[in-house]
């Protein structure tokens, strides 16, 4: 007797339907699997046999053949266990076989028959819903993420016996519940921009970066606040939309980073890999292929501290994600694409000792050593970073200033702004961008994504701004990509000023944020100039 059940295999975030075909017949005990199943899938024979024994079903007198179709798609992991067990029971006549090929089954089985949670349930169910599947059964441990998927009825089970009882019509399985709402406001963060003393220029750059989703690199001596500022960037970014939360949750689900008690990831991710990270760790890879840090930071922030300590090849692997917003990983049997559109924030020291240009500390590096150190950062990668700024050492007057203990309305004008105050302006600037894009039919989510054709339509400066830009291109020798970055940042600055036109002041400030282009045109800065930059 034969029976067929339905499950899904993931390539990246794409769900591919897998037909689990089981043929059973009398004969000496034999259980084989075909269909390009890896060792982790072939091991399910042991788990399925033991789980069926817990239900009183013995396979000692049966020849069981399991085919996972299509056969040219590689299968790995334990998520196929539930579908194999149910198809085997149907082939043995223990449960009805009608309609099994229209119910998505996902879950790993323990030897006792418990249904264990698996990776990638959310993207698998999204794919199932898009393919017209109306019902699925998943582990109880995946209930919260499964509830986030619209367009499909999701039932949950803790034990194989519950699934059998449901299919026999004896006791219905419970549903996964209603989709959880994404908070319209970010939850209270453990850090706040108001804690940053001084560094008004860097705070301004952080706001510009958040307003237009621009990449940012900060150069400054140790203790100047590069890391502190970077870790506060997510607190000034707008709350995630529902679709963004679904994307982020799907990536984290595939990576196995969702705990059973967590539903949608409602806060923007912040990822800070160590400088010893491998290329596969940063952009993704492995077998099976898993998303890397650049994808795990999708719709959030990817912070690379001590950027010049990363291996050159690792950094160069960032070129495609920064430009295209995706990572394409090719293997012998498949090409997997992960979304990868984080805001990149990088921090570097000005020289190996860290004190080049610092008036308070003597630098021991020669000019040649400084040049060699900075040359680790390639021009093509720098071109992909919109904002490039220098941080001076923090003024001792800011460090020694007393804490603001008075009521907010009585604070002095120079009191640092909170993340909430900055975020309100960022949200307003993003809203202006969305309205413009909808009115002009521009296929971009932020100013940082504008292509050359769209820039010509919505970001070209007025006559005075055009003259400033032309002079800068001539003087600094900007590449075509750097020219595009200046226009994008200038458009964001105009949005922050609530200006429809991109004016000369906006262009000038955007050019001023191209630190390395300015240095390249003038040679290495003298110590005094670097300290005051």
CATH number, domain of 199, equals 3.40.50.300
Q: Is residue 174 part of a domain?
A: no
Asked if 344 contacts 388 with a C-beta cutoff of 8 angstroms, the reply is no
Residue 205: the pLDDT is 97
373 shares its domain with 445: yes
pLDDT tens for the 533 residues of the chain, in order: 899 999 999 999 999 999 999 999 888 888 999 988 888 888 999 999 999 999 999 998 899 999 999 998 888 889 999 999 999 999 999 999 999 999 999 999 999 999 999 999 999 999 999 999 999 999 999 999 999 999 999 999 999 999 999 999 999 999 998 766 555 445 456 889 999 888 899 999 999 999 999 999 999 999 889 999 999 999 999 999 999 999 999 999 999 998 877 788 889 999 999 999 999 999 999 888 899 999 999 999 999 999 999 999 999 999 999 989 999 998 767 789 999 999 999 999 999 998 887 777 889 999 899 989 988 888 888 888 999 999 988 765 555 655 544 344 444 446 689 999 999 999 999 999 999 999 999 999 999 999 999 999 999 999 999 999 999 998 888 888 889 999 999 999 999 999 999 999 999 999 999 988 777 655 554 443 333 33
Q: Is residue 275 part of a domain?
A: yes
- Give the angle subtended at the CA of 11 by the CAs of 33 and 331, to the nearest 5°: 90
Q: Is the peptide bond before 335 cis (omega within 30 degrees of 0)?
A: no
Query: Rounded to an integer, what distance in angstroms lies between the CA atom of residue 437 and that of residue 66?
Result: 52
Name the token pair of 131: 């393919």
Q: Is residue 176 part of a domain?
A: no
Q: Is residue 470 part of a domain?
A: yes
Name the token pair of 133: 């599947």
17 DSSP β-pair partners = 8
Q: For the chain, give the number of residues.
A: 533
202 shares its domain with 121: no
> What letter does residue 23 receive in the DSSP assignment?
E
- 3-class secondary-structure state, position 300: coil
124 shares its domain with 55: yes
148 shares its domain with 224: no
Q: Is residue 408 part of a domain?
A: no
- 3-class secondary-structure state, position 139: strand
Query: Rounded to an integer, what distance in angstroms lies between the CA atom of residue 490 and that of residue 168?
Result: 65
Strands 343-348 and 216-219 turn out to be parallel
311 DSSP β-pair partners = none
Query: Rounded to an integer, what distance in angstroms lies between the CA atom of residue 179 and that of residue 320?
Result: 34
6 shares its domain with 145: yes
153 shares its domain with 201: no
199 shares its domain with 50: no
Tell me the Ramachandran region of residue 56: left when phi exceeds 0, alpha when psi lies from -120 to 50, beta otherwise.
left
- Domain range for 253 is 193-398+416-532
Q: Is residue 153 part of a domain?
A: yes
Query: Rounded to an integer, what distance in angstroms lies between the CA atom of residue 87 and that of residue 94?
Result: 10
Residue 514 sits at φ, ψ, to 5 deg, of -105, 65
Helix, strand, coil percentages, rounded to 5, for the chain: 40, 20, 40
Q: Which of 150, 167, 184 is the last residue of a domain?
A: 167
161 shares its domain with 45: yes
Q: Is residue 186 part of a domain?
A: no
Asked if 123 contacts 129 with a C-beta cutoff of 8 angstroms, the reply is no
128 shares its domain with 224: no
Distance of CA 57 to the CA centre of its chain: 45
Domain CATH number, residue 26: 3.30.230.10
Overall number of domains in the chain: 2
Continuous H helices in 395-462: 396-399, 419-440, 452-458
261 shares its domain with 389: yes
Q: Is residue 151 part of a domain?
A: yes
Spatial CA neighbour of 3 closest among 87, 93, 66: 87
31 shares its domain with 162: yes
Q: Which of 133, 167, 201 is the last residue of a domain?
A: 167
22 shares its domain with 57: yes
How far is residue 35 from each of residues 41, 73, 82, 331, measured CA to CA in Å?
10, 8, 17, 19
């Amino acid at each position: 007797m034969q029976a067929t059940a339905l499950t899904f295999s993931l390539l990246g975030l794409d769900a591919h339907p897998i037909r689990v075909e089981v043929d059973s017949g009398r004969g000496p005990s034999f259980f084989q699997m075909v269909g390009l199943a890896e060792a982790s899938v072939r091991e399910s024979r042991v788990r399925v046999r033991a789980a069926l024994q817990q239900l009183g079903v013995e396979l000692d007198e049966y020849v069981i053949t399991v085919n996972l179709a299509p056969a040219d798609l590689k299968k790995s992991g334990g998520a196929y266990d539930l579908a194999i067990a149910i198809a085997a029971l149907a082939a043995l006549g223990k449960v009805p076989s009608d309609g099994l090929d229209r119910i998505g089954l996902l879950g790993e089985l323990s030897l006792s028959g418990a249904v264990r949670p698996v990776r990638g349930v959310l993207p698998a169910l999204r794919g199932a819903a898009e393919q017209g599947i109306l019902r699925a059964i998943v582990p109880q441990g995946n209930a919260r993420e499964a509830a986030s998927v619209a367009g499909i009825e999701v039932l949950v089970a803790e034990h194989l016996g519950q699934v059998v009882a449901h299919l026999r019509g004896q006791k219905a399985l419970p549903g996964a519940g209603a989709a959880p709402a994404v908070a319209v406001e970010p939850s209270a963060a453990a850090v706040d921009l108001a804690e940053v003393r001084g560094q008004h220029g860097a705070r301004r750059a952080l706001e510009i970066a958040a307003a237009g989703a621009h990449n940012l690199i900060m150069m400054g001596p140790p203790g100047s606040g590069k890391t502190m500022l970077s870790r506060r960037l997510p607190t000034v970014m707008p709350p995630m939309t529902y679709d963004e939360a679904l994307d982020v949750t799907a990536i984290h689900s595939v990576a196995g980073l969702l705990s059973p008690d967590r539903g949608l990831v409602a806060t923007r991710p912040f990822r800070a890999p160590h400088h010893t990270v491998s290329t596969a760790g940063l952009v993704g890879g492995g077998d099976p292929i898993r998303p890397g840090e650049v994808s795990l930071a999708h719709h959030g922030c990817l912070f690379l501290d001590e950027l010049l300590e990363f291996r050159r090849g690792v950094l160069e692997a960032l070129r495609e994600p920064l430009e295209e917003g995706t990572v394409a990983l090719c293997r012998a049997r498949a090409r997997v694409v992960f979304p990868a559109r984080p805001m990149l924030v990088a921090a570097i020291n000005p020289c190996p000792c860290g004190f080049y240009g610092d008036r308070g500390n003597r630098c021991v590096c020669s000019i040649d050593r400084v040049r060699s150190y900075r040359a680790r950062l390639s021009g093509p990668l720098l071109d992909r970073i919109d904002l490039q700024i220098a941080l001076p050492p923090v003024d001792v007057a800011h460090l020694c200033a007393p804490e603001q203990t008075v009521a907010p309305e009585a604070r002095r004008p120079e009191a640092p702004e909170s993340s909430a105050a900055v975020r309100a302006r960022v949200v307003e600037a993003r809203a202006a961008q969305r309205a413009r894009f909808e009115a002009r039919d521009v296929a971009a989510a932020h100013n940082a994504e504008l292509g050359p054709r769209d820039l010509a339509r919505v970001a070209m400066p007025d006559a005075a701004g055009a003259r400033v830009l032309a002079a800068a291109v001539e003087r600094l020798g900007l590449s075509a990509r750097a020219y595009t970055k200046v226009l994008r940042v200038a458009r964001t600055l105009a949005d922050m000023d609530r200006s429809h036109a991109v004016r000369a002041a906006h262009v000038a400030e955007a050019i001023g944020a191209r630190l390395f282009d300015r240095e390249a045109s003038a040679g290495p800065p003298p110590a005094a100039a670097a300290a005051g930059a």
